[in-house]
Structure 1
Amino acid sequence: MSRATTALALAAALATAAAGLAAPALADQRVAVPGFEFTDGSGEVRDQRAAHTAQLALFDETLRAMLEEGGLDVAVPDCNGPCSPDGTSFEAMAAATRATGSNLLLVGALHKISTLIGTIRVTLIDLDADKTICIRSLTYRGDDAEAWTRAAEFTASDVLKACFGGATS
């Protein structure tokens, strides 16, 4: 076997071994995921608060399920009420996160820009290191349950890849 062939075989073996180690490391990560926030800046006249509340609950449920399917151990922190950056102090969110057995907190918000365009901002915080370790800014299209479900699926896939270095299923 030539040196080049040996080097390629060794690199392939190391990549295979590393891939085998990546899944358990991802599976060992417990992350607290409170409900995301939503704001509507579209200026539409029709009152859509009830629909958006239902779609946000669907987004949260889908996001958590997809993160779990991707290998994370997801917990929902209990802040004695809504647990969100807008309505809860950071100290209370950190305490609720630690109460789940996690030191990782994933928070986010959706903002409807126009009738069919929105943004999603996601932040992953390592409470033990006291620092933000990943920030993602994404966009989505549509304003119905199907669009918000797709947005949650894409958000989970992006977070798994960008913030945890994991492959999605």
Structure 2
Amino acid sequence: MKPRTAGFALVAAAVVCACQCQARAEPAVLAIAEIQYVDTSGEVIDQSADHFRRLREFEASMRTDLAASGKVRNVALECPPNACSAGDIDADQLLGKAQAAGAGYLLISSFHKLSTLVQWAKFDIVDVKTRNVVFNRLVTFRGDNDMAWRHAESFIVREILDHEEP
């Protein structure tokens, strides 16, 4: 092989290696706290069982969808069942649990059902090390059925994945 051809081959190999190394960047490690839920709608029908089920499905779908992207790796928080939301534990304790789990980021969220059709949902992602909020969204969604909740979940997952950090 001629020296000039060998030089090109080495440069090409270095470029390929550099591209492969960048493609293998580690996914962000995220802990997702349980969602806090408040219903002040004053509806006559008690939907607390449906809300509880939808919250857990929302959290599970969010974990699955974020992990499926390859950009995020989930870790679990060490908490008693149904006692791991911002309404149950203060933010410093949640951040401590996230750090103990090896998370770089913690997602804290809360929903507020305002009326029969309107719900607000707040999502904050906090950098565990610096304790700075690196992502926050306040969204509203219409409806209180499985389809509305699934739509809201897919929307917020897209918002998170489109953000520069997790």
| Bin of the TM-score, shorter chain as denominator length | 0.7 to 0.9
Q: CA deviation at 1:70?
A: 2.1
Match of 2:121 in 1: 120
Aligned partner letter, 1:47:
D
Match of 1:129 in 2: 130
Distance 2:118 2:57 in 1: 18
Aligned partner letter, 2:60:
E
Match of 1:51 in 2: 50
Instruction: Give CA-to-partner distance per residue, 1:34-55, whole Å, 9 cap, x none.
Output: 1111111211111111111111
- The 5 A counterparts of 1:85-104 are 85-104=86-105
Structure 1 vs Structure 2: percent identity of aligned residues? 28
Match of 2:146 in 1: 145
Query: Is the Cα contact below 8 Å between 1:134 and 1:163 reproduced in 2?
Result: no
SS of the equivalent of 2:147 reads helix
SS of the equivalent of 1:31 reads strand
Q: CA deviation at 1:105?
A: 0.6
Q: CA deviation at 1:158?
A: 0.9
Instruction: Give CA-to-partner distance per residue, 1:113-158, whole Å, 9 cap, x none.
Output: 2111211100011121121111111111211112111111111111
Q: CA deviation at 1:106?
A: 0.7
Query: Is the Cα contact below 8 Å between 2:32 and 2:76 reproduced in 1?
Result: yes
Distance 1:28 1:60 in 2: 19
Instruction: Give CA-to-partner distance per residue, 1:72-97, whole Å, 9 cap, x none.
Output: 10122112342111111333212210
SS of the equivalent of 2:51 reads helix
Using structure 2 for the length normalisation, give the TM-score: 0.78
User: Structure 2 regions of 5+ residues with no counterpart?
Assistant: 1-17
Query: Is the Cα contact below 8 Å between 1:33 and 1:76 reproduced in 2?
Result: yes
Q: Which has the larger radius of gyration?
A: 2
Q: Which runs of 4+ in 1 moved over 2 A?
A: 89-92, 162-165
Q: CA RMSD in A?
A: 2.1
Query: Is the Cα contact below 8 Å between 2:28 and 2:104 reproduced in 1?
Result: no
Q: CA deviation at 1:163?
A: 5.2
Distance 1:163 1:153 in 2: 18
SS of the equivalent of 2:109 reads strand
Paired residues in the alignment total 146
Query: Is 1:79 aligned to 2:79, yes or no?
Result: yes
Using structure 1 for the length normalisation, give the TM-score: 0.77
Match of 2:162 in 1: 161
Distance 1:108 1:90 in 2: 11
Aligned partner letter, 1:79:
C
Q: CA deviation at 1:29?
A: 0.5
Match of 2:38 in 1: 39
Match of 1:62 in 2: 61
